[in-house]
Chain A
Amino acid sequence: MGCGAREVADLLRAGAATIAEHRAELIDLDRPIGDSDHGENLNRGFTAVVSTLDTAVPETPGGVLKIAATTLISKVGGAAGPLYGTAFLRAATALGDRAELDAEAVFTALRAGLRGVVARGKAVVGDATMVDALSPAVDAAEAAVGDGIAAVLAAAADAADKGADSTVPLVARKGRASYLGERGVGHLDPGARSTALLLRAFAEAAR
């Protein structure tokens, strides 16, 4: 029932598969409000993460997340590269060199990731960004810590879905979409969607 480096690598593989599956959807979401590269860039980044992990899996969950971070930073580009990269890097730092994760550690990693994204992107809930998915996910994860890792990730994924949906009526205040002002209203934020997709993939893989 433990969650070590191999299990975390498997979560990332599941995330990569989900991103690949939803690549076209993310591109379509990004087209009217961004430069329609979100799906392509994330897919490239996660594909690279998987091929790195196929070569060698580090010994600790933190090590695995750090590989993901540096790979995403280098391969994704745009705003998503530094944001996802920072999220995984801060999560890795929060986990340190512990070999096994419990529910509390998973929550701690999620919270560190959120704090990293907020620090890097300077967005708050309501700006129509990935923070709208990640922030409620972290709150829900905290509430589920007593029920185990699978429950923590499931609660996070549910909350992230709702949070992503909540971006539809919002006026984006960060990133390229913010230049559109009111014309951006009615669009699901691609970053919030990809965050929700990843958390869902992690939750499914952890069941």
Chain B
Amino acid sequence: MRVGLVLVSHSGKLAEGVAELAAQMAPDVKVVPAGGLPDGGIGTDYDSVLAAVERAEEGGGVVLLYDLGSAEMTADLVVESLPDPGTAVVVAAPLVEGAVAAAVAAQGGADRAGVASAASSAAGGGESEAARESAGGAETAELTLGNDVGLHARPAALLVRGIAGLDADVRIRLGDQEADGHSVLALMSLSARKGDRIDVSATGTQAAEAISRIESLVERNFDE
């Protein structure tokens, strides 16, 4: 039972566009846009958001993201008025990055708290605490990207999903840049392209499995 997402925006088009983007990276996650007023105008509508939460709920709970101002209040009020307010949570996060990060986390099977924290750490932070040194026993691999788009959104999401749930801290380096292998946005920010060589290192009890899954993805050119 995956966690569902609701995107609360003042604009119907904005909510739908972000939902489309997030859904591309997380095909099995219910991402429900709740944007605009029933008449198509700009604003947020309590009834629409409530209906979206009901649609997004598949048993694993719902995480709501919002764009501006009163969208947060509407989302908060909807959660407060649910029969069990504990089944949904409103997260403060940048809407686009947060939605993508949350969707990928949900796709990987994260619970509601995990999805919420993926969203809220999507603002570009989250690097420092993850950047712990690999104290011996690290598995490493050097891989050359052969797929056309490199570590762009879709392949980055595939990589994150591929290692989701493993007990492994995965770091991916390109030149002097390093990214958390569990963060789609961090991976995308490396701008690794076709032909680039990336260094993968993993620690943890399932480090070797993580490396082998990433090797397999790169060999398959991320199924492009």
Question: CB within 8 Å of B: which residues of A?
Answer: 73-74, 77-79, 81-83, 85-86, 89, 120-121, 175-176
What residues of chain A lie closer than 8 Å to B47, measured between beta carbons? 74
10 further A-B contacts with Cβ under 8 Å, apart from A73-B46, A77-B70, are A74-B45, A74-B47, A77-B37, A78-B70, A81-B70, A82-B74, A86-B77, A89-B81, A120-B73, A175-B70
Q: With the chains together, A175 CA to B46 CA distance in Å?
A: 18
Within 8 A of A (CB), among B75-133: 76-77, 81
Q: Are B46 and A79 in contact (CB under 8 A)?
A: no
Q: With the chains together, A120 CA to B43 CA distance in Å?
A: 17
Residue with the greatest number of chain B CB neighbours at <10 A, chosen from A77, A89, A120, A175: A77
Q: How large is the interface on B (under 10, 10 to 19, 20 to 34, 35 or more residues)?
A: 10 to 19
Q: Are B69 and A81 in contact (CB under 8 A)?
A: no
Q: With the chains together, A4 CA to B44 CA distance in Å?
A: 34
Q: With the chains together, A45 CA to B45 CA distance in Å?
A: 13
What residues of chain B lie closer than 8 Å to A175, measured between beta carbons? 69-70
Closest residue of chain A to B38, judged by CB?
A77
Can you report 17 A-B residue pairs in the complex whose CB atoms are below 8 A from each other?
A73-B77, A74-B46, A77-B43, A77-B44, A77-B45, A77-B46, A78-B43, A79-B69, A79-B73, A81-B70, A81-B74, A82-B46, A82-B73, A82-B76, A85-B46, A86-B77, A120-B73
Nearest 6 interchain pairs by C-beta = A79-B70, A82-B73, A82-B77, A73-B46, A77-B43, A82-B74
Q: With the chains together, A77 CA to B46 CA distance in Å?
A: 7
Q: With the chains together, A86 CA to B46 CA distance in Å?
A: 12
What residues of chain B lie closer than 8 Å to A74, measured between beta carbons? 45-47
What residues of chain B lie closer than 8 Å to A79, measured between beta carbons? 69-70, 73
Q: Are B37 and A120 in contact (CB under 8 A)?
A: no
Q: Are B74 and A176 in contact (CB under 8 A)?
A: no
Closest residue of chain A to B73, judged by CB?
A82
Q: With the chains together, A175 CA to B73 CA distance in Å?
A: 11
Q: With the chains together, A129 CA to B56 CA distance in Å?
A: 34
Closest residue of chain B to A37, judged by CB?
B43
What residues of chain B lie closer than 8 Å to A82, measured between beta carbons? 46, 70, 73-74, 76-77
Q: With the chains together, A175 CA to B70 CA distance in Å?
A: 8
Q: With the chains together, A199 CA to B180 CA distance in Å?
A: 55
Q: Are B69 and A176 in contact (CB under 8 A)?
A: yes
Q: Are B69 and A120 in contact (CB under 8 A)?
A: no
Measured between C-beta atoms, what is the minimum distance from B203 to chain A in Å?
41
Measured between C-beta atoms, what is the minimum distance from A199 to chain B in Å?
22
What residues of chain A lie closer than 8 Å to B69, measured between beta carbons? 79, 175-176
Q: With the chains together, A86 CA to B45 CA distance in Å?
A: 15
Q: With the chains together, A120 CA to B70 CA distance in Å?
A: 10
Q: Are B77 and A85 in contact (CB under 8 A)?
A: yes
Measured between C-beta atoms, what is the minimum distance from A57 to chain B in Å?
22
Closest residue of chain B to A73, judged by CB?
B46
Measured between C-beta atoms, what is the minimum distance from A45 to chain B in Å?
11
What residues of chain B lie closer than 8 Å to A176, measured between beta carbons? 69
What residues of chain B lie closer than 8 Å to A120, measured between beta carbons? 73, 76-77
What residues of chain A lie closer than 8 Å to B77, measured between beta carbons? 73, 82, 85-86, 120
Measured between C-beta atoms, what is the minimum distance from A192 to chain B in Å?
17
Q: With the chains together, A81 CA to B43 CA distance in Å?
A: 11
What residues of chain A lie closer than 8 Å to B37, measured between beta carbons? 77
What residues of chain A lie closer than 8 Å to B44, measured between beta carbons? 77-78
Within 8 A of A (CB), among B31-73: 37, 43-47, 69-70, 73
Q: With the chains together, A74 CA to B49 CA distance in Å?
A: 11
Q: With the chains together, A86 CA to B81 CA distance in Å?
A: 10
What residues of chain B lie closer than 8 Å to A83, measured between beta carbons? 73
What residues of chain A lie closer than 8 Å to B43, measured between beta carbons? 77-78
Residue with the greatest number of chain B CB neighbours at <10 A, chosen from A79, A86, A175: A79
Measured between C-beta atoms, what is the minimum distance from A203 to chain B in Å?
28
